Amino acid sequence: MTAPLIMVLNGPNLNMLGTREPAIYGTGTLDELETLCAETAEGLGLSIECRQSNMEGELIGWVQEARAHAAGLIINPAGYSHTSIALMDALSVLEIPVIEVHLSNIHRREAFRHHSYVSRAATGVICGLGFAGYRLALIALSDILEEEEQ
């Protein structure tokens, strides 16, 4: 039996993790985050595919790809959370569970960050827990998929 595929999509500027505002986003790099996700997924019996893009259209294309190939999706849309109706629309047609993750607590930051269009299309939202938020999102997806299987 093939392990269910979870796509992990990271949006703009997350390629700068470790050097961009470490007081807000931590000192870990994107490579370290992807390693944590891969190790967590393996322990849960999931397969994983991590991608990062600074381009909205590319993220939307990957969401559409997930529709046909993934059992679940984790997305950190970063700045697109607060601006992208197009990304929300792409996520809205998915028939798989979607977990939105933010490293920082967006509700403790600037007022414009308090609203996320993406949240309207997400099964759940995790924010403010740093890298641990991704681990928790993978655990949540594993639980959701197990429940759907029963």
56 or 114: which leads in pLDDT: 56
Tell me what pLDDT residue 60 has: 98
Q: Lowest mean pLDDT: which of 4-18, 55-69, 99-113?
A: 99-113
Catalytic, 102? Answer yes
Residues 69, 82, 102, 134: which is the catalytic one? 102
pLDDT tens per residue across span 114-132: 678 898 999 999 999 999 9
Do 122 and 140 contact (CB within 8 A), yes or no?
no
Phi, psi of 71 (to 5 degrees): -90, -20
Tell me what pLDDT residue 113 has: 66
Tell me what pLDDT residue 149 has: 86
Residue 6's contacts (CB-CB under 8 Å, 6 or more residues apart) are 41, 46, 47, 48, 49, 70, 71, 72, 73, 74, 138, 141
Domain ranges across the chain: 5-149
Tell me what pLDDT residue 82 has: 86
At what angle are helices 56-69 and 85-92 packed, to 10 degrees? 0
Q: For residue 144, which of 7, 48, 2, 4 has the smallest C-alpha distance? A: 4
Instruction: Give 24-29 contacts, CB < 8 A, sequence gap 24+.
Output: 24/103, 24/104, 24/109, 25/103, 25/104, 25/130, 26/103, 26/130, 26/131, 28/130, 28/131
- Residue 10 forms beta bridges with which residues? 52, 76
Tell me what pLDDT residue 114 has: 61
Total-model pTM: 0.94
Residues 25, 80, 117, 134: which is the catalytic one? 25
Supply the CATH classification number for the domain 5-149: 3.40.50.9100
pLDDT tens per residue across span 83-114: 899 999 999 999 999 999 999 888 776 676 66
- Over pLDDT 70: what percentage of the chain? 96
92 or 21: which leads in pLDDT: 92
Catalytic, 69? Answer no
Tell me what pLDDT residue 83 has: 87
